Amino acid sequence: MILSNQQYCFLVCLLLMQMAAARAQETAQDSVVPDSGRQTRLHVLIDEGHIEQRPGEVDRSASSAAYTVIEAARFRDTFVSLDEVLEQEVGVQTRSTGGEGSLSTVVLRGAAAEQVIIYLDGVPLNDASGGAVDLSLIPLDNIERIDIYRGSTPLELGSPSIGGAVNIITRRTADDSPAASATRSSHRLSASLASFQTYRLNASSQLSSAKDDVLLTGGYLQSENNFSYLNDNGTGLNPADDRVETRNNDAVRHLTALGNWKHRFNRRYSSELRLDLSDRYKEIPAVSNSPDVQTRLDTRLYNLLAQLNALQFGRKDVNGNIKLFATSKKEVFDDSLAQIGFINQHSTALTRKAGGQLYAEIVRPQTHWKLLSGYSRESYDIDNSLSLVQSDTNRRSKAEVSVENVSYFDEQRFITSLALRYQQIDDTVATKTDEFGNIVPGFNKNYRLLSPQLGLKYRLDRRTYASANIGQYHRAPSFLELFGGSGLLLGNADLLQETSINSDMGLTYGWFKPYHWLHNAEAYAGVFYNRVKDLIVYIYNGQGVGVPENISNAVIRGLEFTLKLLPSKRHTISANASLTDSLNESDIGSFNGKRLPGYYRQSLSLRYAYSLQRWVFSMEADIKRDMFYDRSNLLPGDDVNLLNLGLRYLHQRSTVDFRVNNLLDENIRYFRNRPTPGRNLSLTYSYLF
Amino acid sequence: MNKKRVNISLLLPVLLLLLVSGCSETSTSKLDTAQTPPPNNDDNSSSCTSNTTGNTVPAPPTLLPASSYITAGSPLQNFVAQQAAVATVAADYSSGAHSLISGDNQGNFSALNNYQPVANGDLSMAVYGDSFYRIEKMLSGNNIARFAFSDPQTPIWQYSTNDAGSAVQSNPYDMVFVNSSKAYVLRYNSTKVWIVNPSAATEADFKLGELDLSAYGGDDGIPDMGAAVIANGRLFILLQRLEGPTYQVVNDAYIAVFDTATDQEIDTGASCDGFRGIPLRVRNPTGIVYQADSDTLFIRGSGSFFPVDYSGGIETVDASTYASKLVLDDSATYGLITGLMPVSANIIYFVGYRAYNDNTLYVMDINSNQLAKTRVAALTQGQISDLALDAQGLLWVGDVAQATVRIIDPATGNEVASVSTSLNPLKIVFAP
């Protein structure tokens, strides 16, 4: 248990008081009984834009979490990747290791990628084997919307995480309202041509009838990623041997497909079945950029989701859903000639995950109860065919129960949400047979994690509100950290989970036609303070043997600002800025008092779009400063100065989009010795019929 | 004269010239490659006596009680001003650098740290004359950079040790010097040692030639050259001969010996396996030191870390006769041998590695076969990286657990000074 007995009792008392207050509110408002549980929930009247909500999806109008929503219109019919879209949002930073299809990860409010949970339709993508979610495996063309929650995780998303959460909503068909009796269909074709021998094709079809909606998409991306950059030949102190080279062995071939079938049984019950596939072949370049390198990583990923939604289930104020999911991921890493790593590897890693989730909510006029319970099992097998080591399967089972109460006061101006989450994680490490036939026994490890969370939201009007949140979040150690890799990487069965107490406050202010020259405006200012303890870091001894240890605590704090201006219907201006600082408190002298690595302290993003009849001109600037590659803060990272220009033409069913990315032609290295492409062009043609 | 007739009298000098050039030893020239011939399998193994034949495993040494100690030399009277360069690495190996430690004649030591940071901190160090050479291994760029002690910030040069255009990362491990214009660079991932000119003004002039050690490669073809030393005009190269993708310690290790004047391998006659080099009884040799007073090479064999296998120990080799002797067989009692420094002809310091964070410094008298645990508490059950002996006879020890270099007087066994290096010390070398 993380909380002491006193803290636990205090929390339970707080929850009971909340229940009593909510009950009092209900009693007073019994005369205002909605005629159906969900649709006439009072807070739904607050228009936050198009929100297609189902039971189990986050109700952002009531959520106090700091969040950003990215709709598909921002990135549809243009050549851009998921990490490039996320990069422009406040509090979010992404890091890529190279060109198209290269490993890309996300940092949220200074929290490392391993501490951020990426969800796909509410199902977490992070693996127990460790590491961050690779954003390059998720094609944008299959995405309908991206919800980014900074610092706190809504209960509907289940597992809370230290940095926050990114929920990627896949494309679905028409909204929930019953369709006309006639069957309708729409189709989209898109083709892109871009620099570095890059090609992309996408196709999608939507078929809708009175009861069924079917969406099918398919896409293919191919790129040689043969961009030019300055290779220092490994001699950073000798510019004489530097040379401009074409990147070698960085090609990608990526095939994706998505099928989504929604069935409406009646007004109250519906089901959804989704299957998506990602098959990617990716070459891995060496730091030396030798053309002889043949290392590659093949990844094949299947995701299956089945969901049953119920409105007014049993009672008119009860809604819920049941979700079943399964994932299979196979990664084949071929470095047989040890051109990238220390040892010859031809390893196959297989991750399988399956689970279910039950969500139920009771919707009352002044209070809203939510319950989420889930169970999942995950297995991880890895086999290096060039090694004699054999290993059984590593397994993780996770059970979680979460409850939240959302209460409304003062004619729903004031909203409180109190949530409690409990997770039970049981890990079973594999028994191994080493090179000499010795049996290395496995062991079990379990974690019991409690995550309380409190949110407050005060609404001045529908677009102006203040919010505050505080909560406790965890990250359980990964399989690699617990059980070790091969050779020099040992495991540590005594690892504690990383724990963070996150808090933030924010003010969102909206104007509607405040001046004659300003049609609409919205601004946000927020401050956050996170205290993380027991950070897991690999520590190496004098012989280069590494062991993960809970070696550090850290404070991460920052400021966030966003501003959106619509001077007229033709102009759109948005800007966001963040200042994130951290302080490492570590037993390791060279880490103590330093900043955490891997994120930029200062970040500024600007976007401008101008529409004139059929034309849309856009400009994006992204400026980031002050990052360190290492914990000792000896290696400053590359600054980011990105300028992108776009020109779009819309005519009837066709869209033509032309972009110039990275106009300043900078090969930014988000990771040391991993350059990303410089200036590049793209042309996309889309046809809707 | 018929143009098609060959004048034999003109051919004779040419034939003579060819005959003479074929018989003479080749001198060192640019891009010459001196090759180690493959093992001669015609030896009559039944009558062959190697330098390891007949030698027995020594009895376990006697551990002296805590009140006793083994000393070497006379207690220190006066300090001498000196400098040392130390390769350092962050605890998580995300970065590395070098430090310069200066000591005055009052025994005050101070360090200037974190010069020229580099990614990953996969570093070692070498020294010759007034320069130190920072060796950046595979994860830090496969190159060597030369610095002057007088200016540890500004590189004199930095040259890659990779073969041009090759995908193989050379992974330089050590650099040993014949003189200011000739040195050898051990490249761990390669079968070839580079002969280099440390005074080269351009990278094109850096590499002079190669020594071919491919004959010592096992099934994977790589001899795993780990360390080297020059003594009496001979280059002694430790060859670990680890096997396979996980560096299994299954083959016997060797020392290849080369004449530094001719760069030809010397047939030591010490092996019955057809190799010209000296067979070792310890496996996975990771360090070699030449003790001039006794004309003896001291070799530490670290055995196997994964899985733990006590196939190492401490072995001595007579630098002239190549006779070898096992002086300490490793065992679970003291652990794997990961550090070694003789402080006199018969007194050695070594590091016993029992576990990741259980390294202990010992002192041993190899004549009496007695040993004692260090008197320095921080160097018992800690993390120790390197042992180095300065010109005064003081022992410098890299304490990784505390990111500190500790200086011990072998005459008393006590710590006389310690210096923080900010990052963890990996390798220590001294200015002349």
CB contact under 8 A, A672 and B168: no
Q: Which two tokens stand for residue A430?
A: 């594999």
Q: Tell me, what's the ipTM?
A: 0.85
pLDDT in tens, A267-312: 889 999 999 999 999 999 998 898 989 999 999 999 999 999 998 8
C-alpha to C-alpha distance for A241 and A237, rounded to whole angstroms: 10
Out of B97, B136, B167, name the one closest to residue A339 (CB).
B167
Helix, strand or coil for residue B370? strand
The b/e string for B138-172 (b: 16+ C-beta within 10 A; e otherwise) is bbbbbbbbbbebeebeebebbbbbbeeeebbbbbb
Chain B residues whose beta carbon lies within 8 Å of the beta carbon of residue A287: 141
C-alpha to C-alpha distance for B128 and B184, rounded to whole angstroms: 12
CB contact under 8 A, B353 and A543: yes
Q: How far is CA A460 from CA A125, A357, A382, B8, in A?
A: 37, 36, 55, 112
Which residues span the domain enclosing A540? 5-688
Of A540, A550, A588, which to mutate for an interface test with B (greatest number of B Cβ within 10 Å)? A540
Helix ranges (H only) for B99-171 are none
Is B47's pLDDT higher than 80?
no
Chain A residues whose beta carbon lies within 8 Å of the beta carbon of residue B226: none
CB contact under 8 A, A288 and B162: yes
Out of B94, B97, B422, name the one closest to residue A631 (CB).
B94
CB contact under 8 A, A541 and B356: yes
Q: How far is CA B213 from CA A201, B243, B301, in A?
A: 53, 15, 20
pLDDT in tens, B216-241: 998 889 999 999 999 999 999 999 99
C-alpha to C-alpha distance for A278 and A328, rounded to whole angstroms: 11
C-alpha to C-alpha distance for A628 and A670, rounded to whole angstroms: 10
B309: closest chain A residue by CA: A436
Of A635, A671, A672, which to mutate for an interface test with B (greatest number of B Cβ within 10 Å)? A635
A588: closest chain B residue by CA: B91
Tell me, what CATH number does A47's domain have? 2.40.170.20
C-alpha to C-alpha distance for A58 and A121, rounded to whole angstroms: 11
Q: How far is A676 from chain B (nearest CA, A)?
A: 18
C-alpha to C-alpha distance for B96 and B77, rounded to whole angstroms: 35
B138: closest chain A residue by CA: A342
A636: closest chain B residue by CA: B117
Q: How far is B311 from chain A (nearest CA, A)?
A: 14
Query: Structural domain tally of chain A?
Result: 1
Peptide bond into A477 cis (omega under 30): no
Longest dimension (CA), chain A: 83
Of A233, A388, A632, which to mutate for an interface test with B (greatest number of B Cβ within 10 Å)? A632
pLDDT in tens, A159-193: 888 989 999 998 876 544 444 445 788 899 999 99
C-alpha to C-alpha distance for A627 and A401, rounded to whole angstroms: 38
Is B327's pLDDT higher than 70?
yes
Q: How far is CA A33 from CA A26, A41, A411, in A?
A: 10, 10, 15
A486: closest chain B residue by CA: B246
B88: closest chain A residue by CA: A542
Least Cα distance to A598 among A610, A580, A586 occurs for A580
Out of B117, B356, B420, name the one closest to residue A547 (CB).
B356
Chain A residues whose beta carbon lies within 8 Å of the beta carbon of residue B245: 338, 343-345, 384, 386-387
Are the C-beta atoms of B100 and B83 separated by less than 8 Å? yes
CB contact under 8 A, B94 and A434: no
Q: How far is B353 from chain A (nearest CA, A)?
A: 10
Q: How far is B38 from chain A (nearest CA, A)?
A: 24
pLDDT in tens, B125-177: 999 999 999 999 999 999 999 999 999 999 999 999 999 878 888 999 999 99
CB contact under 8 A, B94 and A438: no
CB contact under 8 A, B145 and A237: yes
Could you tell me whether strands B109-119 and A243-246 are parallel, antiparallel, or unpaired per DSSP bridges? unpaired
Least Cα distance to B279 among B189, B216, B186, B342 occurs for B216
C-alpha to C-alpha distance for A169 and A166, rounded to whole angstroms: 10
B165: closest chain A residue by CA: A290
Q: How far is A247 from chain B (nearest CA, A)?
A: 14
Could you tell me whether strands A184-194 and A198-208 are parallel, antiparallel, or unpaired per DSSP bridges? antiparallel
- Long-range Cβ contacts of B148-157 (<8 Å, 24+ apart): B149/B83, B149/B85, B149/B100, B149/B431, B152/B85, B152/B98, B152/B100, B152/B112, B152/B115, B153/B115, B153/B116, B155/A237, B155/A238, B155/B116, B156/B131, B157/A238, B157/B200, B157/B201, B157/B203, B157/B206
Helix, strand or coil for residue A230? strand
pLDDT in tens, B167-199: 888 999 999 999 999 999 999 999 999 999 999
Q: How far is CA B376 from CA B63, B68, B429, in A?
A: 16, 14, 22
CB contact under 8 A, B119 and A540: no
Longest dimension (CA), chain B: 98
Could you tell me whether strands B207-212 and B32-35 are parallel, antiparallel, or unpaired per DSSP bridges? parallel
pLDDT at A487: 62
Centroid of chain to Cα A175: 24
Q: What is the dihedral of CA B80, B86, B92, B94, to 10 degrees?
A: 140
Is B62's pLDDT higher than 70?
yes
Identify the sign of the CA torsion B3, B6, B10, B11: positive
C-alpha to C-alpha distance for B327 and B330, rounded to whole angstroms: 10
pLDDT in tens, A426-484: 999 877 766 556 677 788 889 999 999 999 999 887 778 999 999 999 999 998 888 77
C-alpha to C-alpha distance for A110 and A150, rounded to whole angstroms: 10
CB contact under 8 A, B169 and A237: no
Question: Which residue(s) pair with B65 in the sheet?
Answer: none
Chain A residues whose beta carbon lies within 8 Å of the beta carbon of residue B119: 629-630, 635, 672-673
Chain B residues whose beta carbon lies within 8 Å of the beta carbon of residue A589: 403, 420, 422
Positions in chain A short of pLDDT 50: 1-52, 175-181
Q: What is the dihedral of CA B389, B392, B393, B396, to 10 degrees?
A: -40
Q: How far is A131 from chain B (nearest CA, A)?
A: 16
How does the average pLDDT of chain A come out, rounded?
86
Least Cα distance to B296 among B266, B325, B263 occurs for B325
